[in-house]
Amino acid sequence: MKGLKGLKTMKIPDNKFLESVKRVEFGTNAMLLSILIGLFVVAGFLSSGFLRIENLFNIARIISLTGIMAVGITYVMLVGEIDLSVGATMSLSAVMGGRFLHLGIGPVLVITFGTGLLLGFINGIGVVKGKVPSLIMTLATLTVYSGLANIVSGGKAVYPYKLPAYLWIGNGNVFGVPFPILVFGALTFLSIFILNYTEFGRWIYYTGANRTASRFSGGRTNRKIITTFLISGVCASMVGPMISGQINRIWSTQGAGYELGAISIAVLGGASLTGGKGTMTGTFIAALIFGGLMNILNLSGVGTYLQDVVKGVLLIFVVGMMHLREKRLKVV
């Protein structure tokens, strides 16, 4: 795989198309950043406890989990597909790892991430080779993986207390910063680099913008698409140990519902369902907005169910706003 193996980087001369795309995306990201700042300012004004360091770290910690998944999903959405199975992937990969706790932390992590890769691969093959629309494919794998998670775990939870390293993934700090936040930040940074400065990244955007043209230009779109599903699967599997490590429990439904948050964040960050549009920066800022909003709801005593309603409504509302904005910017 040319783009991936040598991570061929290049200084790409920007043509007019890319320039216009960059302008739009810069505008979107600027808008997102101002929303973020506005949100935090208002929240800090309304609630004294909001801007406290512990609360901010809490927000970051919690949203990093969904955020890592959102990073993976952003790749998939950039090529014009969707992955609804990320929650179930997280559950199944975590549970697979949980079966082999006695082998030690190394094998457990290998199995967990390996399962994530495999599950993503299955999605990719189904979409690319089986030509199953990604909506249906990932909807189907969502059920299959959820069922398998239950079968593999036998319906019972496992407790990884004997592996302090595993617990550290969920609980540990590096210089006071919780590990999940670091991973989220690192993945975002890495993705921004990959998407903007490597050949692979460029092809992702081209594939999403116009798959046919991309294929005829020798873009090997099939491999790119499969790769995005691989990335999505691995990102999802990363989150499992972070949750399980923190509360010392691996169970079969731990990923349920995360796909909504991940897709919401990706969409909020500017990723378009038809592909070609979106930045990792946008996803990152969107994650912070999302996390801040959820935190505000929590602090205001809004129940979990109402939060779900908010998530659903927000998703619809945000996409609507994005579309209206696009209509204004587009020169038909």
Partner 1 sequence: MKLVKKNSLLIGGIILFIFGIFADPAFLTLFNIQNLLRTSSILGTLAIGVTIVMLIKEIDLSVGSLMAFTIILAIELAARMEAVFGVVAIQGGHYMIHGTGLLIFFTLLIGLLIGLLNGILVTKLKINSLITTLGVLYAARALAYIISGGHSIYLTKMKQFLWLGNGNILGFPTSFFIFLIVGGITAFFLKYTIVGRRIYAIGGNEKAAIFAGINTNAWKMGIFAVSGFCAALAALMYSSYLASADPQQAIGYELSAITIVVLGGTTLEGGIGKVYNTLIAALIIGVLNNIMELVGLRIWYQQVIMGCIIIAAVMPRYLYKKRI
Is the distance from CB of 291 to CB of 62 less than 8 angstroms? yes
d(C-alpha 37, C-alpha 39), whole Å: 5
| Nearer CB in complex with partner 1: 106/301 | 301
- In this structure, what DSSP letter does residue 219 have? -
| Nearer CB in complex with partner 1: 138/198 | 138
Provide the minimum distance between the beta carbon of 192 and partner 1 in the complex, in angstroms, as a whole number. 25
Helices in the chain by DSSP H: which ranges? Answer: 2-5, 16-46, 53-78, 86-99, 105-128, 134-153, 164-171, 179-197, 199-209, 211-216, 221-247, 258-268, 280-299, 304-329
Provide the minimum distance between the beta carbon of 190 and partner 1 in the complex, in angstroms, as a whole number. 28
| Nearer CB in complex with partner 1: 125/177 | 125
d(C-alpha 276, C-alpha 24), whole Å: 12
Q: List residues binding partner 1 (CB under 8 A).
A: 82, 126, 130-133, 135-137, 139-144, 146-148, 150-151, 155, 211-212, 215, 260, 263, 267, 273, 303, 305-309, 311-316, 319-320, 323-324, 327
Sole residue written with tokens 């907005």: 289
| Nearer CB in complex with partner 1: 175/305 | 305
**HEC letters along 112-178:** HHHHHHHHHHHHHHHHHCCCCCHHHHHHHHHHHHHHHHHHHHCCCCECCCCCHHHHHHHHCEECCEE
Provide the minimum distance between the beta carbon of 20 and partner 1 in the complex, in angstroms, as a whole number. 21
Token code pair at residue 293: 């909003």
| Nearer CB in complex with partner 1: 142/167 | 142
Provide the minimum distance between the beta carbon of 304 and partner 1 in the complex, in angstroms, as a whole number. 8
Provide the minimum distance between the beta carbon of 277 and partner 1 in the complex, in angstroms, as a whole number. 13
Provide the minimum distance between the beta carbon of 151 and partner 1 in the complex, in angstroms, as a whole number. 5
Provide the minimum distance between the beta carbon of 71 and partner 1 in the complex, in angstroms, as a whole number. 19
Q: How many CB atoms lie within 10 A of CB 34?
A: 11
Q: What one-letter code names the amino acid at 286?
A: A
Sole residue written with tokens 């006695």: 102
| Nearer CB in complex with partner 1: 173/300 | 300
| Nearer CB in complex with partner 1: 80/292 | 80
